[in-house]
Amino acid sequence: MSQLDLTSQALDIRPRPRLQYQALEPRALKSGFLTGLTWLAALLAAVPLFSVIYMLLIQGGTRLFGADIAEVLTGLPPAGFEMGGGIGPAIVGTLIMVGIASAISIPLGILAAIYLGVLDSTSKIAKTARFLAKVLTGFPSILAGVFVYAVIVIRFGYSATAGGVALAVLMLPTVVLAAEEAMSQVPQRMKDAAYGMGCTRTQVIWKVVLPTGLPGILTGVMLAIAGASGESAPLLFTALFSNYYISELAEPTASLSILIYNFSGMPFQNQIELAWTASLVLVLIVLVFNILARILGRPKV
Partner 1 sequence: MEKLFQAANTSGSISGPPSAREYFNDRLFRSIALTSAFLIIVLVAYILWEIGREAMPAIGEYGLGFVTGTTWNVSKGEFGVLPEIWGTLYSSLLALLIGGVFGIAIAIFLTQDFINHRLATVFRTVIEMLAAIPSVVFGLWGIYVLIPLLKPGAEWLHDSLGWFPLFGTNLSGPGMAPAALVLAIMILPTVAAISVDAFRRIPYKVKEAAYGMGTTRWEAILKVMLPTASSGVLAALVLGFGRALGETMALAMLIGNANQISLSLFSPANTLASLLASNFPEAGRIEVQALMYAALVLLAITFLVNVAGLAVQQYTIRKFEGKK
Partner 2 sequence: MHKASVLKTALAAGFVSVFALSSTAHADDVKLNGSGASFPFPIYSKWFKDFSKANDGIRVDYQSKGSGAGIQDLINHTVDFAASDAAMKDKEMAQVEEGVVLLPMTAGEVVIIYNLEGVDELKLPRAVYPEIFSGKITKWNDPKIAEANPGVDLPDETITVVTRSDSSGTSFVFTGHMSNIDEAFKESVGQGKAPNWPSASNFVAAPKNDGVTAQVQQNQGSIGYVEYGYAKLTGWKQVAMLENKSGKFIAPGPESGAAALASAQFPEGTLPNSDVPNLIAWVWDPAGEDAYPIATFTWMLFYKDQDDDKAAALRKMVAYGIEEGQKIADSMGYIPLPENVREMVLETAEYIQ
Q: Which of 8, 82, 128, 190 binds partner 1 (CB under 8 A)?
A: 128
- For the segment 99-138, give every residue that binds partner 2 (CB under 8 A): 99-100, 102-103, 106-107
Question: Please, is 276 exposed, middle or buried when counting C-beta atoms within 10 Å of its C-beta (0-12, 13-18, 19+)?
Answer: buried
Q: What is the CA radius of gyration of the chain?
A: 28
- For the segment 220-279, give every residue that binds partner 1 (CB under 8 A): 226, 229-233, 236-237, 240, 257, 260-261, 264-265, 272, 275-276, 279
CB of 271 to partner 2, least distance (A): 8
Q: Out of partner 1, partner 2, none, which partner does residue 286 contact, by CB within 5 to 8 A per kind? A: partner 1
Segment lying near partner 1 (by CB under 8 A), choices 2-10, 77-85, 144-152, 208-216? 144-152
CB of 284 to partner 2, least distance (A): 21
Cα dihedral 278, 239, 110, 219 in deg (nearest 10): -10
Residue number with CB closer to partner 2 (106 or 129) = 106
CB of 178 to partner 1, least distance (A): 14
Question: Please, is 12 exposed, middle or buried when counting C-beta atoms within 10 Å of its C-beta (0-12, 13-18, 19+)?
Answer: exposed
Q: Which of 41, 79, 103, 295 binds partner 1 (CB under 8 A)?
A: 41
| Residue 210 engages partner 2 in binding (rule: CB under 8 A) | yes
Residue number with CB closer to partner 1 (59 or 212) = 59
